[in-house]
Structure 1
Amino acid sequence: MNRPTPVFVALIALSFAAQTFADDSMQDGAIVSSQVHPGCEKIDARSCLDLAIDAMGGYRRLADIHSVNYDSIGYVELADQSPRQYPFLTAYERDEVTVDFDGQRLVRHEHLIWPESDPHTENVDVTMIIDPQGARCRGTQGAMPCELLGLDSAEDALTMVPERLLLQARAATDLHYGVSQWLRATPHTALAFTWHGQQVQVLLNAYTHLPDALERTRLFRDFWLSWGDVRQRVYFDNWRLVQGVVLPTTYVEQRNGIELGSTQIFNPVFNGAIDNEASAKASNGRTGDTAPPLWNSPFSDKQHVELAPGIELYQGAWNTTLIKQDDGVLVLEAPISSTFVKAVLAKAHSEYPASPIKGVISTSDSWPHIAGVRQAVADNLPVYVLDLNRPLLDALVAAPHSLRADDLQTHPAPPHWVTVGHQMELGQGPNRAILYPLRGALTERQYMVYFPQYRLLYASDTLAINPDKTLFFPEMMHEVAQAVAREHLQVDTVFAMHEGPTSWAWVKKQITSASVAGEHPVPHDPSPE
């Protein structure tokens, strides 16, 4: 075999370097030129849009689409969950979808596969209906509130899919050229317009004139609400000819540069049958049955447990705890929103008016658990964060929130992080708290809080109990038990973000039961003995 000469190797290296430079200069989002509209030179924005409409099949064909039926399969990256950062855990979904554009109604039969499930519970079936009266969902157990996670994507399916998107642009009174940019190493012209108060950009391929992507900055109603003004890009690809319309059948969504997921459409049919009877049955007469917006989740002091003198647990969807020490008060957790945490801090001031708030203890990287940290930063409070979570929290407090301003947006302040990388003691006396990083495979982004005087342990986001009094995700509690043994802790009672005081002896029996194949759960009450 001939060996390459040094000159040949050098030429390959130079060629690779040149290609790398070229690729870098054409990265997605890189500006082509502020004065050039590739593929639409010397014509105005409306004429450019007409080229895109013609490329998809023409205005008459698009306007004659009244509904679409299709199957889809896709995945979502669970960036908001706590076990690990990128690359994220993935959930999967297989759907049957009917979209009625004229009636602004969507029916989606969802089959979900969730990775963080107990054995044999990973499959979930839900029917979601959206119409002008609201949103309804129905699962195997009957009617249920619709999770806001799916409402934004469902509403986009009614308005922002390419066969509707170009018609929305055509109806806009402010259609204009945006800044042309590279997309997939191809020049694209940007057309911008306002839709429902939002600036929307469509990126048109210079050669095909097809809309290859949608861009906008928006608020979301799922856990991305923590990030305020989110930059969304949806790529359209895998174009197919469907009843005379050139239609993309692959959608890839990015948010703030993170690839959120991908959806593949199969067997699309325009203007097919709409099963009104099935829709009515799934709806079951319920209207507007949606979960409340997460940022409006209220803090309540009604479900209150004194874990020990001066250690007050306030239970709800998001548990928070006030820890009174000799020199002030510690707030354990800043979850879900700035509004929620503002109420928690007000409760701390009213409960202990003569004591300053010493700081906020934030034990996890799960987005709903850290969403209120911005309020703690705005109030110039020290925040105790795990070393591995610093980059995520730095990004969170730097994220713009101009579309829905919070206190940190209107009164910027630098964060005062106290990094937890090893055992750390807070305070003195009977309510002394000790922080311990968990460092498990599932719990590497969490730390626990131990109160030695009371043999009391806070286990972050690891403890949850199923309705049948078994542990949800016992693997996490197994890692907590390992950390308790490693640190030689004496524990009688454990509590967590979503669980009240629980017998540690019962938890250990549950861990043992879960680790023995075929053994039934321990049946007795998990409350502290």
Structure 2
Amino acid sequence: MHRHRLIFAAAVIAASAAVSRGAVAQRADAAALVRQAQAAIGGEAIAQARAVATTGVMHEYMIGNAERPEGPWRVSYSRFTELRPAGGTRLRRTEVSLGAAGNSPERITLLTDSVVTLRQGTNEMPALPMFHDDLSAYVAMHPDRALQLAAASAALRLERPVVRHGVVHDVVSFPWEGRRMSIELSRDSHLPVAVELHGEFAHDFRRAPFGDVRLRADYDNWTAEAGEVWWPHQYRVTLDGELLRDMTIATVALEAAELPAGLFVVSDSLRALYRDNARNSPPNFAFGSRGEPEELREGIIRMRDFWTMTAVRQDDGIILFEAHLTGRYLGQVLDYLAAKYPALPVKAIVMSSDPWAHVGGVREAVARGIPIYVHARSIPFLTRVVKSSHASHPDRLQRAPRAPRFIPVNRRTVIGTGTNRIELHPVGGAYAERMVMAYFPGHKLLYGSDLVFADRQQKGYFRTPAIELRRAVAREGLPVDSLFSVQARPAIAWTEFVPAPR
């Protein structure tokens, strides 16, 4: 018996050694491919440069910002100049937005170590951490920087090759900032023609609900620059296959001189303000951060935090409006309601709209088995959110999957009885085709979904959503006295809700 144990132990040791030798050999193969790619894009010329300066134009899709969550998206255009120092995560971008009604003033975005700031004229302010997530990934995914990171990684490995456009590409990958980065290297040119980053963007309230997303940059129009340097002049960036940015590079220059020290300096006061912003980032934001809940009517509680959630007490339970921000935040709201109404369960959630920014708590609601009233047209999109993988940072639904309980709203739908009875009505229209308004007959009170925006430039409210909400109220014949919404503004008289002039 003792002899058999020794033989088994020796076999295990031998197998482990073989695996270890295989991993070392695989890393050596991957490292050789990376060195070959570094030589192909410019070798020492890039390695010795102090910075890379580019100019170009960008066509950016505002993913999640449209009449419907599947798009097509609204678009912005800009002309930019970028300075990216060698090594590290730093970027200085100067850009002008190109609008249909005219161009915006010049804006400078500065990314340095753990801070992002925005400057326009004499005004300088800290950005949100979601900008840091986005820009640091943007910098790291540039071909030269991605190859530097790969060369420095002790966990570099060789993946299965892929075929793109009839050409075989070797693929190397390595961990980066809690995600995994992979680079596709053409066997013909040895150039790094694509970089992918797979993982979570927790600070971005549009990307976070989808968990492990795939950000991909395809690099095309490779051009011979001065000094045997090759550089792509077309960047095509996608998020889970959806086009996010299309960038055309006009000029590329390698800066040999030391950069002025002041270009990337951020004051202590701005750093302090950035830390304050970080506390309001989705994964950090806590229930009650912007004040105590308030009672709008008896049994109707508004929680005006990042956005507003509303709890409605009925005889047999609580109806909660919206599932914003994150699963953690929704859990804190549910804890508050359990303490306030210990004998009443949350019997349902009403989601009055479905933009990416407002669905962060959906998976938590599904995991807790809470039914969700939502416009019938929104169910396929929300099902996609529910099915998304959160394997890198498992949430409650990832750990214990369950089917959602969506209740479609495609006509007048009544919830409950008594003074706080709720009537749900689809709003409809070009802007509000997937939105649901809620009417409280006992109070002549209307919840206007995400359609109530005061126009700071004109007297009144944003014209398009205001017209569509007023049309829906007239269509349903609702006698409304007061109006409130998902936005954190006080309730107003219905007579005050006037569309701004064109």
Q: TM-score, with normalisation over the residues of structure 2?
A: 0.86
**SS, match of residue 294 in structure 1:** coil
| 333-342 or 246-255, which deviates more | 246-255
Moved over 6 A (4+): none
- On the 8 A contact 1:61/1:245 being kept in 2, the answer is yes
Residue in 2 aligned with 1:504?
494
Deviation at 1:352, TM superposition (A): 1.1
- On the 8 A contact 2:96/2:104 being kept in 1, the answer is yes
Q: Does 1:67 align with 2:44?
A: no
Residue in 1 aligned with 2:124?
143
Pair 1:48–1:103, CA change in 2 (3 A): closer
Q: Does 1:296 align with 2:280?
A: no
Pair 1:455–1:140, CA change in 2 (3 A): farther
Pair 1:76–1:176, CA change in 2 (3 A): same
Q: CA RMSD for the aligned pairs?
A: 2.5
- 2:111 aligns with one of 122, 130, 137: 130
Q: Deviations over 1:361-408 (max 9, x none)?
A: 111111121111111111100011111111110010111112222221
Q: Does 1:164 align with 2:145?
A: yes
Please give the residue correspondences for 1:463-478 in structure 2 after superposition, counting only pairs within 5 Å: 463-467=452-456, 470-471=459-460, 473-478=462-467
**SS, match of residue 286 in structure 1:** helix
- For these two proteins, the number of residue pairs brought into alignment is 464
* Unaligned 5+ runs, structure 1: 1-42, 516-529
Residue in 2 aligned with 1:235?
218
- On the 8 A contact 2:171/2:182 being kept in 1, the answer is yes
Amino acid at match of 1:501: A
State how far apart, in whole Å, the 2-side matches of 1:143 and 1:367 are: 28
| 137-146 or 329-338, which deviates more | 137-146
- On the 8 A contact 2:233/2:249 being kept in 1, the answer is yes
Please give the residue correspondences for 1:408-427 in structure 2 after superposition, counting only pairs within 5 Å: 408-427=397-416
Amino acid at match of 2:162: Q
State how far apart, in whole Å, the 2-side matches of 1:442 and 1:476 are: 6
Deviation at 1:233, TM superposition (A): 1.5
Amino acid at match of 1:259: L
State how far apart, in whole Å, the 2-side matches of 1:284 and 1:140 are: 20
**SS, match of residue 81 in structure 1:** coil
Q: Does 1:340 align with 2:329?
A: yes
* Unaligned 5+ runs, structure 2: 1-27
State how far apart, in whole Å, the 1-side matches of 2:215 and 2:114 are: 27
Pair 1:445–1:69, CA change in 2 (3 A): same
Please give the residue correspondences for 1:12-91 in structure 2 after superposition, counting only pairs within 5 Å: 44-58=29-43, 60-84=44-68, 85-91=70-76
**SS, match of residue 287 in structure 1:** helix
Pair 1:423–1:275, CA change in 2 (3 A): farther
**SS, match of residue 235 in structure 2:** strand
Residue in 2 aligned with 1:442?
431
Residue in 1 aligned with 2:208?
225
Pair 1:270–1:284, CA change in 2 (3 A): farther
- 1:407 aligns with one of 396, 414, 420: 396
Amino acid at match of 1:138: R
Q: Deviations over 1:112-134 (max 9, x none)?
A: 4689xxxx798465322222362
- On the 8 A contact 2:64/2:71 being kept in 1, the answer is no
Deviation at 1:285, TM superposition (A): 5.7
Q: Does 1:306 align with 2:287?
A: no
| 198-207 or 351-360, which deviates more | 198-207
Q: TM-score, with normalisation over the residues of structure 1?
A: 0.82
Amino acid at match of 1:250: Q
Pair 1:82–1:354, CA change in 2 (3 A): farther
**SS, match of residue 215 in structure 2:** strand
**SS, match of residue 354 in structure 1:** coil
Q: Percent of aligned pairs with the same residue?
A: 28
Pair 1:466–1:284, CA change in 2 (3 A): farther
**SS, match of residue 307 in structure 2:** coil
Q: Does 1:257 align with 2:241?
A: yes
Pair 1:266–1:130, CA change in 2 (3 A): same
Residue in 1 aligned with 2:23?
none
Amino acid at match of 1:506: E
**SS, match of residue 485 in structure 1:** helix
Pair 1:181–1:154, CA change in 2 (3 A): same
Q: Deviations over 1:170-210 (max 9, x none)?
A: 22223332111122343221122233443221111222121
Deviation at 1:503, TM superposition (A): 1.9
State how far apart, in whole Å, the 2-side matches of 1:437 and 1:114 are: 33
Please give the residue correspondences for 1:307-386 in structure 2 after superposition, counting only pairs within 5 Å: 307-386=296-375
**SS, match of residue 296 in structure 1:** coil
Residue in 1 aligned with 2:174?
193
Deviation at 1:432, TM superposition (A): 0.7
Q: Does 1:389 align with 2:378?
A: yes
Pair 1:403–1:312, CA change in 2 (3 A): same
State how far apart, in whole Å, the 2-side matches of 1:495 and 1:140 are: 36
Deviation at 1:44, TM superposition (A): 2.9
Q: Deviations over 1:477-507 (max 9, x none)?
A: 1110111111111111111111331221111
Residue in 2 aligned with 1:268?
252
**SS, match of residue 77 in structure 2:** strand
Q: Does 1:204 align with 2:180?
A: no
State how far apart, in whole Å, the 2-side matches of 1:103 and 1:161 are: 12
- On the 8 A contact 1:146/1:289 being kept in 2, the answer is no
Deviation at 1:334, TM superposition (A): 0.8
Deviation at 1:307, TM superposition (A): 1.9
Deviation at 1:46, TM superposition (A): 2.9
Deviation at 1:216, TM superposition (A): 2.7
Pair 1:239–1:104, CA change in 2 (3 A): same
State how far apart, in whole Å, the 2-side matches of 1:114 and 1:303 are: 40
Amino acid at match of 1:79: I
| 99-108 or 491-500, which deviates more | 99-108
- On the 8 A contact 1:296/1:339 being kept in 2, the answer is no
Amino acid at match of 2:124: A
Pair 1:123–1:463, CA change in 2 (3 A): farther
Deviation at 1:103, TM superposition (A): 6.3
Deviation at 1:154, TM superposition (A): 2.2
**SS, match of residue 200 in structure 1:** strand
